[in-house]
Chain A
Amino acid sequence: MIPFDFEYYKPATVAEACETYRTLQEQKKSVVYYSGGTEFITLARVNQISADAVIDLKGIPEVQVLEMQGDQFIVGSAVTLNQIAESRLFPLLAQTVRGVADHNSRNKITIGGNLGSRLSYREGVLPLLLADCKVRVAGGMKGEGERVVSLSDVFDKQLNLEQGEFLLQILVDKEYLDLPYVHLKKTKQSKVDYPLVSVAALVKDKEIRMAFSGICEYPFRLGEIEEVVNNTTFARKEQLKQVVGKLPAAILDDLHGSAGYREFVFRNVVQETIDALEWAQK
């Protein structure tokens, strides 16, 4: 039960959603977009988030799309993680989101919500960062227009949309869907848990790409790390040392694991990933 009172809107079109947002803004109300809603509900129950109104995006047809359209794989932002896992159109994405939360929750958690999460993990973004994908964004204060931009333009550490904007769809080029890939997730102990380290990797043009979550306080993909990983002149031990040295931020030290242990797990995971993909580099 959420103790505070708020208004709930479930628009049926993008235009309706934009209109609703603007109206609420004019009334000086705080608004939260709502997709799977699991994060909103759990935070609201314990008063860690508040809102005067929520706009449930699930009624908009575009956000429910999950299919190939020409050379593009389209994932609507309100598609649930289980739908993605079951569709298997993008195996790396399927496997990665299968590692998030538990099966019941994944019937509710959406990819848009996972990307927009306040938690630091956002594991669903890892394959998308590797696949140079684009996103279709709607809403905002300026007009009703939609825009298509690269994911990297709006996702740096977290989803950074303009005020009032929301994610409509994710567009992945076909050529990325069937590349050799690996996903590994390591937790403190239980399988159903936040990651100590989660890594998604694929091989494109004989180069390994890797994106990480859990190790630092945001998910990332980093060219410098990939350079080291793809530099075959390094001895493995040296390579791992270099990779650790290139991490973009301090290693997390929290109740899931100390920084020292996380680093140990991270090294293992990087090594395991490279070992598993080495064949595809040749």
Chain B
Amino acid sequence: MTTNQGWKSVGNPEQRIDAVEKAAGTVKYIGDFAMPGLLHAKLVTSTHAHAKILSIHTEEAWKVPGVRAIVTGEMFPFHIGPILADRPPLAWEKVRYYGEPVAIVVADHEYQAKQAVQKVQVEYQPLPVVNSVQQAFETGAPLVHENSSQYMKIISNVYPVPGTNIGSHIKIRKGDFQTAWLSCEEIFEATYSFNLTDHVAMETRSTRVEITPSGKVVVHSCTQSPFTIKKVFNQFFNIAVGNIVVHAPLVGGAFGGKGTVQLEPLAYLASKAVGGKLVKLENSREEDMITSPCHIGLKATISLGATKEGKLVAGKYTFLVDSGAYTDQAAGITRAAALDCTGPYNIPNVWCDSYCMYTNHPFATSFRGYGHPELTFAVERTMDQLARKLNLDPIRFRLLNTIKPGDTSPTQTLLDANNIGDAAKCIERAKELIQWDQGQRRETGERKVRSKGISLFWKTSTTATNAQAGTVLTFEADGSVNLNCAAIEVGQGAKTVLAQILAEKLKMDLKDIHVTMELNSQYDPHQWRTVASSTTFLAGRAVLAAAEDAIRQLKKTAGIAMQCSPEDLDVGGGRVYLKANPEYGVQIKDIALGYKYPNGHTVEGQIIGSGKYVQRHLTPMDENTGFGKPGPWWSVGAQAVEVEWDPKDYTYKILKAITVLDGGTIINPMMATQQMRGGMSLGLSFASSEGFIFDQQGIVRNPQLRTYKIMRFGEQPEEYLVDFIETPNIDGPYGARGIGEYGVIGAAAALGNSLSTAAGVELNHLPLIPELIWQAKQGKEEEL
């Protein structure tokens, strides 16, 4: 076959390239490596949420056979962090959360390390605990960090307020809020909250580090940010970037939790303490939940003002982000939540104060959606309640205010058809799918209530302004291609999507593309990180560029072989052929390693395609107004949930969950659907049952899956419906936008809206367990 049509891959539901090995159970994840001589590190963790460390006694621990080293905080008394360097990898002088690493024990065997950990005696002097964002915000609250003004800023957009627990304060000032607010004919204000939660990737975080005699530091880690590990090691341990080699295998789920660098520095310190030997540090589930970073908590107050007809005029947003003991990515989330604070609505006057609050809780990092599932819960609950007040249908109210090309975002970026998808179309489609017109609430024969809730959402990806990716293509003698790229496969299907983009561009069979699944930072070109739904976009563009480079070389070599000009040639179907006369051509396999004349003389040599892509035209935000261009595009979408609620005992079942996303061109519809369903499931799980429970002392009482419940088989919606609107993004590869995070964003809000409608009571806190509904109903109805 010589025509293009036969080699279409973009838009096809191609089987995932990693599925067969995963089904066979042969994929090696980070923790699957065992080797005699490998040393094991275990952490001594804090038993207090806030306390001075008076002393650490290790004598008894040293007596355990097999112990090789014990590392404590004063051996590395410096602070690290991705945005604000405020966290000592090992607590020193004081602990700021329950579960914080205080010491590392290295031993021959894991059980020995665990035995010794039990025997390290830490003497604490308890300090007053900051146990909520509200408390943290009050004047005179105990300080989690006494000297936050002295911390080094790694990224400029972070604004700690010295003498308070504010780790960063981000402001958005658009229009003239004060004046506009007074002119509003209808106003509504409410407060929303939820506690910190966890990612609960099924694979807990784990890492191995060794330091070779020549000074190379070799890190193996299940990370979404291999190049950030290099950066952090360079910044804080003063190791030349080139001497740090990072290996990352396939990752067993991440959801943002493996984007930050936390275990690796500890494993480095452990390895260093044993003369550079290979040391493994693997989290138990409990450590993964509370010692390693989790997902933010939030308290949000939103005030919306509108005209009588329901046109939004002004919005005021106060976010108190519970970042826990350290800012980590919560500082970035605080910013991301601010710059998209309105949701996909056109509001001319915006006032937003977004605070990253220190508390004595486990610290938080990025979580799928980066602030958006959280802000969307608050925004969309407010939209529903204001609609009720205005006596407007919630969908009509949203449509009246949906953001469009020509409007500006809270940071005053002008939107055009290219950088914003079609939110109105999404909501119209979601409305059809959930059968909105058949009624939002009805009672069933069995004395239950069925009701529907909807939410709109948007998100821009706040990548670094110089975020980038690169790709190298090498060719085999059989004409097949190796694709090397530093995008990490965390389960989202990144590698398959990239292979499809390459197949499409080279018009080649997908089976002739071999993607390196594992990353080696020495071979793979630099990539920013595998986060922020940016991989298809950044790495996809790099793949296209590399393919173009390879095609150029293929045509050149083929031109020599066929004695014609490269311009006359096309590539496809494993061949390079004459455009005018496709039967005439050479097989790629015959030129992949150069063209060999019949006499043996060879020209051009092997084809090596390389390509790169770097984010363009992004600007940081202004400190006082937020003005700036934070991300390359917004993806928008709508979600809907239908529940069946039992008024007798307040339990409920989720019947339907719907996502309609404007994802630009969808490269692989089945995989995109898989992503949306998984996202909804994560969002619904978060909203319906998750959350850390703290006691008075800030101790987490449920750091186990026995008591911290995530959604199980059988608890999922009876039906997921997924549809896509495909407004192409001209910058994206084949018009694609990011989609990875989006399924999660509106799920909590849609569930909250449907349950509030069902129960006839406003549910503004998570998780939406039956007890919470019962509580909300208390005082409204007399006792049974």
A–B touching in complex (CB under 8 Å): yes
Q: Please give the residue numbers on chain A whose beta carbons come within 8 Å of chain B beta carbons, in ascending order.
A: 1-4, 46-47, 186, 188-193, 237, 240, 255-258, 261, 264-265, 267-268
Q: How far is the CB of B526 from chain A (nearest CB, A)?
A: 38
- Establish whether residues A4 and B693, one from each chain, have CB atoms under 8 Å apart when the complex forms: no
**Nearest B residue to A261 by beta-carbon distance?**
B771
- Establish whether residues B693 and A255, one from each chain, have CB atoms under 8 Å apart when the complex forms: yes
* A190 to B118 alpha-carbon distance, docked (Å): 33
* A192 to B648 alpha-carbon distance, docked (Å): 21
Please name all residues of chain A whose beta carbon is closer than 8 Å to the beta carbon of B648 when the two chains form the complex: 268
A interface footprint on B756-771 (CB within 8 Å = 1, 0 otherwise): 0000000000010111
- Establish whether residues A47 and B118, one from each chain, have CB atoms under 8 Å apart when the complex forms: yes
**Nearest A residue to B650 by beta-carbon distance?**
A264
**Nearest B residue to A271 by beta-carbon distance?**
B784
Q: How far is the CB of A124 from chain B (nearest CB, A)?
A: 18
- Establish whether residues A188 and B769, one from each chain, have CB atoms under 8 Å apart when the complex forms: yes
Most buried by A among B707, B770, B775: B770
With contacts defined as CB atoms under 8 Å apart, how many contacts are there between chain A and chain B in the complex?
52
- Establish whether residues A267 and B784, one from each chain, have CB atoms under 8 Å apart when the complex forms: yes
The 4 closest A-B CB pairs, nearest first, are A3-B114, A190-B709, A189-B689, A261-B771
Known contacts A189-B688, A189-B709, A190-B689; is A257 also within 8 Å of B114 by CB?
A: no
Q: Within residues 95 to 127 of chain B, which ones have a CB less than 8 A from any CB in chain A?
A: 110-111, 114-115, 118
Known contacts A237-B784, A264-B784; is A191 also within 8 Å of B714 by CB?
A: yes
Please name all residues of chain B whose beta carbon is closer than 8 Å to the beta carbon of A256 when the two chains form the complex: 707
- Establish whether residues B649 and A265, one from each chain, have CB atoms under 8 Å apart when the complex forms: yes
Asked if B615 is an interface residue, CB under 8 A from chain A, the answer is no
* A237 to B782 alpha-carbon distance, docked (Å): 13
Please name all residues of chain A whose beta carbon is closer than 8 Å to the beta carbon of B111 when the two chains form the complex: 1-3
Most buried by B among A1, A240, A264: A264
Q: Please give the residue numbers on chain B whose beta carbons come within 8 Å of chain A beta carbons, in ascending order.
A: 110-111, 114-115, 118, 286, 648-649, 688-689, 693, 701-702, 707, 709, 711-712, 714-715, 767, 769-771, 774-775, 784
Q: How far is the CB of B649 from chain A (nearest CB, A)?
A: 5
- Establish whether residues B775 and A261, one from each chain, have CB atoms under 8 Å apart when the complex forms: yes
Q: How far is the CB of B432 from chain A (nearest CB, A)?
A: 31
Please name all residues of chain A whose beta carbon is closer than 8 Å to the beta carbon of B775 when the two chains form the complex: 261
- Establish whether residues B712 and A186, one from each chain, have CB atoms under 8 Å apart when the complex forms: no
Most buried by B among A4, A46, A190, A265: A190
Known contacts A1-B111, A264-B774, A264-B784; is A192 also within 8 Å of B118 by CB?
A: no
Q: Which of A46, A47, A257, A267 contacts B771 (CB 8 A)?
A: A257
- Establish whether residues B771 and A186, one from each chain, have CB atoms under 8 Å apart when the complex forms: no
Please name all residues of chain A whose beta carbon is closer than 8 Å to the beta carbon of B771 when the two chains form the complex: 188, 257-258, 261
- Establish whether residues A186 and B702, one from each chain, have CB atoms under 8 Å apart when the complex forms: no
In addition to A4-B115, A188-B770, A191-B712, 6 A-B residue pairs with Cβ atoms within 8 Å of each other are: A1-B110, A46-B286, A190-B715, A255-B693, A256-B707, A267-B784
* A172 to B689 alpha-carbon distance, docked (Å): 39
Known contacts A255-B701, A268-B648; is A1 also within 8 Å of B709 by CB?
A: no
Known contacts A47-B118, A191-B714, A237-B784; is A255 also within 8 Å of B702 by CB?
A: yes
Please name all residues of chain B whose beta carbon is closer than 8 Å to the beta carbon of A264 when the two chains form the complex: 774, 784
Q: How far is the CB of B60 from chain A (nearest CB, A)?
A: 14
Please name all residues of chain B whose beta carbon is closer than 8 Å to the beta carbon of A1 when the two chains form the complex: 110-111, 114
- Establish whether residues B709 and A193, one from each chain, have CB atoms under 8 Å apart when the complex forms: yes
Please name all residues of chain B whose beta carbon is closer than 8 Å to the beta carbon of A267 when the two chains form the complex: 784
Please name all residues of chain B whose beta carbon is closer than 8 Å to the beta carbon of A193 when the two chains form the complex: 709
* A258 to B770 alpha-carbon distance, docked (Å): 12
- Establish whether residues A191 and B784, one from each chain, have CB atoms under 8 Å apart when the complex forms: no
Most buried by A among B693, B714, B784: B784
* A191 to B716 alpha-carbon distance, docked (Å): 12
What are 11 pairs between A and B in contact, CB < 8 Å?
A1-B111, A186-B649, A189-B688, A190-B689, A190-B709, A190-B711, A191-B715, A193-B709, A255-B707, A256-B707, A265-B649
* A2 to B111 alpha-carbon distance, docked (Å): 7
Q: Which of B115, B701, B712 contacts A190 (CB 8 A)?
A: B712
Please name all residues of chain A whose beta carbon is closer than 8 Å to the beta carbon of B688 when the two chains form the complex: 189
Q: How far is the CB of B104 from chain A (nearest CB, A)?
A: 16
- Establish whether residues B712 and A3, one from each chain, have CB atoms under 8 Å apart when the complex forms: no
* A192 to B715 alpha-carbon distance, docked (Å): 10
Q: How far is the CB of A59 from chain B (nearest CB, A)?
A: 26
Please name all residues of chain B whose beta carbon is closer than 8 Å to the beta carbon of A261 when the two chains form the complex: 771, 774-775
Please name all residues of chain B whose beta carbon is closer than 8 Å to the beta carbon of A255 when the two chains form the complex: 693, 701-702, 707
Q: How far is the CB of B118 from chain A (nearest CB, A)?
A: 6
* A267 to B784 alpha-carbon distance, docked (Å): 9
Please name all residues of chain A whose beta carbon is closer than 8 Å to the beta carbon of B714 when the two chains form the complex: 191
Please name all residues of chain B whose beta carbon is closer than 8 Å to the beta carbon of A46 when the two chains form the complex: 286
**Nearest A residue to B111 by beta-carbon distance?**
A3
* A191 to B114 alpha-carbon distance, docked (Å): 33
- Establish whether residues B784 and A240, one from each chain, have CB atoms under 8 Å apart when the complex forms: yes
Please name all residues of chain B whose beta carbon is closer than 8 Å to the beta carbon of A189 when the two chains form the complex: 688-689, 709, 767, 769-770
Please name all residues of chain A whose beta carbon is closer than 8 Å to the beta carbon of B784 when the two chains form the complex: 237, 240, 264, 267-268
* A2 to B286 alpha-carbon distance, docked (Å): 15
Q: How far is the CB of B180 from chain A (nearest CB, A)?
A: 42
* A171 to B118 alpha-carbon distance, docked (Å): 43
* A246 to B767 alpha-carbon distance, docked (Å): 33
Q: How far is the CB of B122 from chain A (nearest CB, A)?
A: 16
Please name all residues of chain B whose beta carbon is closer than 8 Å to the beta carbon of A47 when the two chains form the complex: 118
Q: How far is the CB of B106 from chain A (nearest CB, A)?
A: 15
* A268 to B770 alpha-carbon distance, docked (Å): 13
Most buried by A among B286, B648, B688, B709: B709
Please name all residues of chain B whose beta carbon is closer than 8 Å to the beta carbon of A268 when the two chains form the complex: 648-649, 784
* A1 to B771 alpha-carbon distance, docked (Å): 36
Q: How far is the CB of B761 from chain A (nearest CB, A)?
A: 15
Known contacts A3-B111, A237-B784; is A188 also within 8 Å of B709 by CB?
A: yes
* A237 to B712 alpha-carbon distance, docked (Å): 36
Please name all residues of chain B whose beta carbon is closer than 8 Å to the beta carbon of A192 when the two chains form the complex: 712
Please name all residues of chain A whose beta carbon is closer than 8 Å to the beta carbon of B649 when the two chains form the complex: 186, 265, 268
* A237 to B771 alpha-carbon distance, docked (Å): 21
Please name all residues of chain B whose beta carbon is closer than 8 Å to the beta carbon of A240 when the two chains form the complex: 784
Please name all residues of chain A whose beta carbon is closer than 8 Å to the beta carbon of B769 when the two chains form the complex: 188-189
* A193 to B714 alpha-carbon distance, docked (Å): 14
Q: How far is the CB of B124 from chain A (nearest CB, A)?
A: 19
* A189 to B714 alpha-carbon distance, docked (Å): 13
Please name all residues of chain A whose beta carbon is closer than 8 Å to the beta carbon of B118 when the two chains form the complex: 3, 47
* A189 to B686 alpha-carbon distance, docked (Å): 12
* A2 to B112 alpha-carbon distance, docked (Å): 10
Please name all residues of chain B whose beta carbon is closer than 8 Å to the beta carbon of A4 when the two chains form the complex: 115
* A4 to B767 alpha-carbon distance, docked (Å): 38
* A2 to B115 alpha-carbon distance, docked (Å): 9
* A1 to B286 alpha-carbon distance, docked (Å): 14
Please name all residues of chain A whose beta carbon is closer than 8 Å to the beta carbon of B701 when the two chains form the complex: 255
Please name all residues of chain A whose beta carbon is closer than 8 Å to the beta carbon of B707 when the two chains form the complex: 255-256
Q: How far is the CB of B159 from chain A (nearest CB, A)?
A: 36
* A191 to B33 alpha-carbon distance, docked (Å): 35
**Nearest B residue to A4 by beta-carbon distance?**
B115
Please name all residues of chain B whose beta carbon is closer than 8 Å to the beta carbon of A191 when the two chains form the complex: 712, 714-715
* A255 to B707 alpha-carbon distance, docked (Å): 8
Q: How far is the CB of A103 from chain B (nearest CB, A)?
A: 11
Q: How far is the CB of A108 from chain B (nearest CB, A)?
A: 15
* A258 to B715 alpha-carbon distance, docked (Å): 23
Please name all residues of chain B whose beta carbon is closer than 8 Å to the beta carbon of A190 when the two chains form the complex: 689, 709, 711-712, 715
**Nearest B residue to A186 by beta-carbon distance?**
B649
* A193 to B709 alpha-carbon distance, docked (Å): 8
* A47 to B47 alpha-carbon distance, docked (Å): 14
* A257 to B688 alpha-carbon distance, docked (Å): 15
Known contacts A189-B688, A190-B712, A268-B649; is A3 also within 8 Å of B702 by CB?
A: no
